[in-house]
Chain A
Amino acid sequence: MSMMQTQLSLGIGWRPELALTIDRRKDLGFVEITAENFPRGAVPPAIDRLRERGLAVIPHGNSLSLGGAEPIDRDRVRALADLARRVNAPFVSEHIAFVRAGGMEAGHLLPVPRTRAGLEATIENVKIARDLLAPLPLALENISTLFDWPNAEMSEADFVTEILDRTDSLLLLDIANVWANAKNLGGDPVELLRQLPLGRIAYCHVGGGEEHNGVYHDSHAAAVPEGVFELVTELCAITDPPGVMIERDDDFPPAAVIEAELDRLAQAVAEGARRREGAHVG
């Protein structure tokens, strides 16, 4: 089932370090901002300028802990909603993950156990969030992880699909995370992609990382591997995502490198689109 989504095209995660590069790039359709970095809706003028140029701004949360056993903090959701209003966002995004438990902060996005309990807890939290955010749509992101829970009752694709279907949420498809999980935990990334509810895609993440001791770390502090771009092409050969963006969080390279990465992403998308259209015609 396909939904009419906001058309976003090419985008990037806004970071102050990249502000100038982003400002000068002329083919971006949207930027994503990390919600926790703009408390009380205090958004830098550079972002308002992008909005004036017609770019969409999407708040992306990291700290709701939707997959946690504890009910989510409603104030955090309200803050996300306020920020979305401030930047006139078409929707907001968060993760299918938990970040705190037993009174401790994990400091990281952790996978939810793929059990009935995990499913129900996540769905309950997402519904609370959706009610507070209404009528703003919510997109949920699949995370990458170095380990799996031992008690999985279903596949990640089924888990994600059921959550999205029962809460009527959108999918923030992190293509790099699918690739990373396939690399670290096994599986065919294209198969994993096909099983996800691609009709619900709001936009896609593409980020880089590095390998240490045979383990791939999705750090967003390095170049995007070619394999991820190839997976982007595979995805675009199947479906037409409304938007794709690059994520970079650390070790910022010169502007030319960022530009090249955006170009490569646009190319990967176009290649996939050509194959998709070829398949229709042929």
Chain B
Amino acid sequence: MSILDLRGPEFLKLYAFLLLALVPAGILFRWLLSGPYDDHPSHQPELDPLEVAYLGGGGSAATEAAIASLVHDETLTVRGSHPRRLKIAGRLPNAITPLGNAVCASVALDDEQGIDRVRKGVADEAAKLERRLAEYQLVLDPMRRTVAHVVPIVLFIGLFILGVTKIGIGISRGRPFGYLLALTAVALAVLIYFACEVPHRTRRGTRFLKRLKSEHAALHSTAKTAPSQLPADDIALAYGLYGADVLSMGPLAKLQQAMRPRDSEGGGSSSCSSSSSSCGGSSSCGGGGSSCGGGAGCGGCGGGSS
């Protein structure tokens, strides 16, 4: 007797059980495949900023970090609006990375180039950053990545199809299928989640990244509030570790809108204006001091925490 021949309520129970069992199973499966788990010191190399970016978010994050550092040292500018495009604005710096070079070459193909086109154009060069990361087993090798990615997807495709088929049967027999529809929708949601979450780092890689983020916390604060005096490498590293969060000031602000259309509009603005206190500067958006532009003493902005 096929599973589809079960009566409604029994099928529903079975389906719910499968759903409840397979979700953690899928997650566990991916976790099991994400070794090695240690963070032995000998496995912790010196990574350059773009490699760190790759560790954090793959080829596209590395490309964005390269773009951010080129915009920062004014080799590229951001032009236009909706969508924003890149344009060569200055001479290429002497110490440019291969990926940076590829980005400039891609931008130079046209007068102005959209960021997405650049991303696609340099994808191959970006992928090369994976080499050392794979050597130290900070990212999954392609085979394991594929298996970890695909297996839960297949399971849930199966579950989804099962649900849809039974719904079809239910419709053809004029049976109610409300609950099943809900469960199948859940299966679809989980399927989408597993499809979108592409396994990337090993456990070791994730812990290494976390350690790096903690080590460079001061860079995060300074990059968010006073990036102008930082060297391009520091900007690339800040982007690689903390994302578009650090692109909040000056020319980088326009870049932030291009790459992450959500969140604040330039200059630590939204977090400042939404915070109630802000004595000459602000909390989360930086500016720790009381800005005493002239006048006796300092602070006493009278704002204070509410």
Contact = CB atoms under 8 A, between A and B. Distances in A.
Interface of A: 13-24, 33-40, 42, 44-46, 48-49, 60-65, 76, 79, 95, 97, 99-100, 105-111, 143-146, 177, 180, 207, 210, 212, 217-221, 247-250, 252, 254-255
A107 B218 contact: no
Nearest to B218: A23
Contacts, number: 200
A15 B285 CA distance: 11
The main secondary structure of chain A at its interface with chain B is: mixed
Contact of B300 (A76, A110, A219, A249): A110
A46 B217 contact: yes
Interface in B253-306: 275-284, 286-306
B53 to A, nearest CB: 19
A79 B305 CA distance: 8
Contact of B296 (A37, A146, A250): A146
8 contacts: A13-B289, A20-B222, A36-B277, A44-B221, A49-B215, A76-B305, A219-B292, A249-B281
A89 to B, nearest CB: 16
A62 B290 contact: yes
B294 A17 contact: no
B229 interface: yes
Given A44-B221, A144-B297, A16 B292 contact: no
Interface string B220-245: 11101110011000100000000000
Interface in B161-220: 214-215, 217-220
Contacts of B282: 37
Nearest to B213: A45
Contacts of B288: 13-17, 33-34, 37
B152 to A, nearest CB: 33
A241 B5 CA distance: 87
A220 B289 contact: yes
Contact of B305 (A36, A110, A144): A36
